[in-house]
Amino acid sequence: MIAVRLEDVSLEYKGSKGPMTWRIGRGFKNTHLDRAFVARTDMSRQQALEAREKDRVQALDHVDLTIPDGKTLALIGPSGCGKTSLMRVVSGLEHDYQGRVTYDGVNMEEIPMKERRLGVVFQNYALYPHFVGRGNLAFFFRVRSAPREEELERIAVTSEIMGFGFEKLLKRRPGTLSGGEQQRLAIARAIVRTPRLFLLDEPLGNLDAKLRTQTRVEIKRLMSRFAITSLYITHDQEEAVSLGDEIAVMRRGRIQQVGTYEELQRRPANAFVAGFLSLSPMNLFRGGVVAEGELRLDTLRVPLPEAVKQEVGPGQELVLGARSDSAAVLAGNSAAAQGVRLGGKVQVVEPDYARKTVRIYAQTPVGSCAAMAPLGAALREGDRVEIVLPYEGLYFFGGEDERRLG
């Protein structure tokens, strides 16, 4: 097992568009017709190079991140935020980065991927279709001319680890296996190498809901048994919460916050984390302005906590946040309910039979608001409702940098 550290890591992908060249029909290349055509485009080589310089993608932007020894770090973020690029840097597949990547304090810049003892599991399984399951597991040993005894022993141990029914998969080709069986085989192929570091890039992305749950339990069992340092990349928040000892939230190539799910939910670093990471995302109302010790947002008047008052000034714009699972639809005698009140029109009703609640989305004067009601509440689209946002569940974020205040 190892601790992995990324220190001020940046990675930029250059655009694929090179200097523009023009080709016209056969017989015209380098003729006066060809030169005249290029002249008419008014696109010189220098202009094409300048266009290419603009077509760049900052995949990673000064990333500092630690994967603790023996722990699983779940990396989550929207599509295109740089999750897979970060994994490629950690694994050694990407070399043109700035900064340092260390395993237990050792700089890995000059160490090739094959010498890092990695176990990698991909979303698309990446199994060898012409080998049966046993051949997929044995390939690692055969290309390294390992003793036959070691190969057989490691496959036997791995089969025992993978549990009931796995022996049957060793005799079949990947094309005859279900998606869940193929992923079990891919995980076993990673385990058989006795890796120091697990890298899992959305391994459950191709599975249906039932298989996702079953395979997630299997992965959790293996991680708990071996306590191997792991980087688990996903866009599924349930997977991140279930499998990660810690969760790192990523956006536009930058790490926004790292912590346990409870830490990130209770004390989000900024409005993005608050609105992105939660099984019940936070309501965010933008456009509020500070005046006379309160936040004024349309007709709302929200008193500011003392800690927030010390960080803001009159006229400053703020974002008001309120968790949807604490926002409640008022019914009957609700005079005792304390908090900010909003009137709105129901747009969507979503029953949650497992939690015996109903989540509604209402259009209010300050924007869309999600709130909870009892499962038996008679709510329909178009109904007028009153929603209360408890004071203790309110958050305040800066209007420009959107960092949490107070």
For 353-399, the pLDDT digits (tens) are 888 899 999 999 999 999 999 988 889 999 999 999 999 889 999 98
The angle subtended at Cα 187 by Cα 181 and Cα 188, nearest 5°, is 90
Instruction: Calculate the CA 221 to chain-centre distance.
Output: 22
Cα 84 to its chain centre, rounded Å, is 10
Instruction: Answer with the one of 9, 32, 54 that is the final residue of a domain.
Output: 54
Eight-class DSSP state of 366: T
Give CA–CA dist 396/376, Å, rounded. Answer: 33
**388 in a structural domain:** yes
Q: Are 253 and 289 in the same domain?
A: no
Return the CATH number at 366. 2.40.50.140
**312 and 378 assigned to the same domain:** yes
In a domain, 10, yes or no: no
Q: Are residues 119 and 143 in the same domain?
A: yes
Q: How many domains does the chain have?
A: 3
Q: Which is nearest to 398 in space by CA: 300, 298, 321, 328?
A: 321
- pLDDT value, residue 52: 53
Same-domain pairing of 192 and 296 = no
Report the distance separating Cα 198 and Cα 244, nearest Å. 13
Task: Quote the percentage of the chain above a pLDDT of 70.
Answer: 88
CA neighbor of 187 nearest in space, from 156, 223, 152: 223
Q: Is residue 137 part of a domain?
A: yes
For residue 224, give the CATH number of its domain.
3.40.50.300
For the cut 50, the answer to whether the pLDDT of residue 31 exceeds it is no
216-231: per-residue pLDDT in tens? Answer: 888 888 888 878 899 9
Going by pLDDT thresholds of 50, 70 and 90, the confidence category of residue 49 is: low
Averaged over 108-114, what is the pLDDT?
A: 91
Query: Of 54, 79, 103, which residue is a domain's last?
Result: 54
Q: 194: helix, coil or strand?
A: coil
Tokens of 343: 């009137």
Is position 404 within any domain? no
138 with 258, same domain?
yes
Question: Is 137 in the same domain as 44?
Answer: no
Of 265, 298, 322, the residue that ends a domain is 265
Residue 329 lies in a domain: yes
Shortest CA distance to 215 belongs to which of 229, 227, 232? 232
5 domain-assigned: no
What secondary structure does DSSP assign to 78-97, as a single string? Answer: STTSSHHHHHHHHHTS---E
- 281-307 pLDDT, tens digit each: 799 999 999 999 899 998 889 999 999
Higher pLDDT, 148 or 36: 148
For the cut 60, the answer to whether the pLDDT of residue 38 exceeds it is: no
Task: Tell me the pLDDT of the chain averaged across its residues.
Answer: 85
The domain containing residue 335 runs over which residues? 267-398
Quote the pLDDT of residue 209: 80
178/168 Cα distance (integer angstroms) = 13
The CA distance from 135 to 139, in Å, is 6
Question: Same domain, yes or no, for 387 and 375?
Answer: yes
| pLDDT at position 27 over 80 | no
CA proximity to 192, closest of 243, 88, 120: 120
pTM higher than 0.85, yes or no? no
Q: What is the pLDDT of residues 337-356, one digit of tens each?
A: 688 999 999 999 999 888 88
Q: Does 357 fall in a domain?
A: yes
Inform me whether the pLDDT recorded for 22 exceeds 50: no
Within 113-228, strands assigned E span 118-121, 197-201
Q: What is the mean pLDDT of residues 147-161?
A: 89
* Mean pLDDT along residues 88-103: 94
Residues 140 and 247 reside in one and the same domain: yes
DSSP state of 172: S
What is the average per-residue pLDDT within 43-54? 51
Are 188 and 208 in a shared domain? yes
φ/ψ of residue 326, rounded to 5: -100, -20
Closest listed residue to residue 194, CA positions, set 144, 119, 103: 119
Residue 372, token pair as written in the block: 């909870």
Q: What is the pLDDT of residue 40?
A: 40
Confidence of residue 166 (pLDDT cuts 50, 70, 90): confident
The stretch 117-122 carries a mean pLDDT of 89
Statement to judge: residues 225 and 146 lie in one domain:
yes
Residue 44 shares a structural domain with residue 80: no
Tell me: do 243 and 342 sit in the same domain. no
Residue 11 lies in a domain: no
